[in-house]
Amino acid sequence: MTDKFAFLQDQLRELENTSLLRRLRCIESVQGPVVRLEGDPAEKVLFCSNNYLNLAGDRRIIAAVTEAVRRYGYGAAASRLISGTMRPHVKVETVFARFFGTEAAILFPSGWTANEAVLKTIPQKGDIVLLDKFDHASIIDATRAGQAEFRTYRPDRLDRLEKLLADKKYNRRFIVTESIFSMDGNTADLKRLVDLKKAYDAILIVDEAHAIGCMGKTGAGLAHELGLLSEVDIIIAPLGKAIATTGGIVASNKTVIDYLVNKARPFIYTTAPSPVNCAAILTALEVVKTEPSRREKLAANAEYLRTRLSKLGLDTGNSTTHIIPVIIGPSKDTLRVSKELFARGFFIAAIRPPTVPAGSARLRISVQSDHTTEQLDALVNALKDTIKTSGR
């Protein structure tokens, strides 16, 4: 009998032959600086998690979740516009509107669906969406599927962005950027983007996925740290990184949020997030706001590690944050280094195309606030030996 899916097997073999095949690894412990993986008795120091502030196993969040289960049960059991809106959803949205200083906010099941909702719903026919070339896949995919035209610009070539903004044939112009770029650990020039937004009457949308919790006096992100939060028209805040839960917040004025409630298909046609998850979000956000020492320790760890890696002559790109790439180049070499580090007790996934451009495969090191200096030093020494023995 003919295998109807042989064509997929052929493509999977091609991925394996080019060192691009992905496989899942199962963690069997709480996410933290050190984890246990299925089938491996030795603990690994984890350097590829987005659990930047080490809230994933926080006992206060676990206690809040336990209490929420008793009070609300686990599931919402309906979409928000039917009977799925519960008190925890409303509280999350109210608290985040206050956190970002906006008129309103809306909760989505994930950061991906938050971006999808905004970019497929708000820019319309006759508009143009201007994307940073290094924006997250959720931003790019949602824009491609939307109604408006789109173009890309490079973060180091904002002159191109200005030329695109100057084109008067479009009804509205949207600038969309991440605040911290997830594969490189550098930041967008938000001040310049705000200047351009004002000069050309554009709408600025900022995804704070990797900055929320980690930057700003209260953890409200890069725009807040730079004093530019009020200049951002739509804030998107995925909650699966430093907040260590699931979901995505969109914060803006009441008109934008009301429009999303009425028109955004990822909001209308899906079951509401669990009220239990809302309890986790609210407790995590309170910790973020009241414990700035976590942000301070994260920044100190990142600076220490980046300095040590640079002294080794490793290519860490333009990173200035807690995301530090070690760019190796060929996928095969990067995969080999990742495997050798794993054998030495360090879990760092190899990031390969299409996630990053061809020839720029890398280890993306994600620093956590609870990493110790000893763990950071041990990683540096292991990288020094591993990359040397790999001929890089």
Burial pattern 318-341, b for ≥16 Cβ within 10 A else e, equals ebbbbbbbbbbeebbbbbbbbebb
Structural domain for 345, as ranges: 17-46+292-389
Beta bridge partners of 180: 187
pLDDT digit string (tens) for 309-365? Answer: 999 999 999 999 999 999 999 999 999 999 999 999 999 999 999 999 999 999 999
> CB–CB of 173/151 below 8 Å?
no
pLDDT for residue 99: 99
- Among 290, 322, 349, which residue terminates a domain? 290
pLDDT digit string (tens) for 236-285? Answer: 999 999 999 999 999 999 999 999 999 999 999 999 999 999 999 999 99
Q: Which two tokens mark 388?
A: 């040397």
Is pLDDT above 80 for 391? no
Closest CA to 316 of 355, 350, 363, 371: 363
CA distance 250 to 112: 11
User: Whole-number mean pLDDT of the chain?
Assistant: 96
* Shared domain check, 36 and 67: no
As a whole-number percent, the residues of the chain with pLDDT over 90 amount to 96
* Shared domain check, 128 and 90: yes
Where residue 365 sits, what CATH number does that domain have? 3.90.1150.10
Q: Is residue 4 part of a domain?
A: no
- Among 290, 319, 340, which residue terminates a domain? 290
Is pLDDT above 80 for 180? yes
pLDDT for residue 137: 96
Mean predicted confidence (pLDDT) in 219-230: 98
* Shared domain check, 25 and 72: no
* Shared domain check, 123 and 109: yes
Please report which confidence band the pLDDT of residue 81 belongs to, taking 50, 70 and 90 as the band edges. Answer: very high
Where residue 171 sits, what CATH number does that domain have? 3.40.640.10
CA distance 89 to 195: 35
> CB–CB of 105/249 below 8 Å?
yes
Is pLDDT above 60 for 224? yes
Which residues fall within 8 angstroms of residue 360, CB to CB, at 6 or more apart?
Answer: 327, 329
Record the pTM: 0.95
Is pLDDT above 90 for 387? no
* Shared domain check, 268 and 166: yes
CA distance 323 to 114: 23
* Shared domain check, 74 and 39: no
* Shared domain check, 297 and 277: no
pLDDT for residue 389: 53
pLDDT digit string (tens) for 96-111? Answer: 999 999 999 999 999 9
* Shared domain check, 263 and 156: yes
* Shared domain check, 316 and 253: no
Mean predicted confidence (pLDDT) in 213-228: 98
pLDDT digit string (tens) for 26-69? Answer: 999 999 999 999 988 899 999 999 999 999 999 999 999 999 99
CA distance 237 to 176: 13
Backbone angles phi, psi at 176, to 5 degrees: -125, 125
Q: Total domain count for the chain? A: 2
Please report which confidence band the pLDDT of residue 2 belongs to, taking 50, 70 and 90 as the band edges. Answer: low
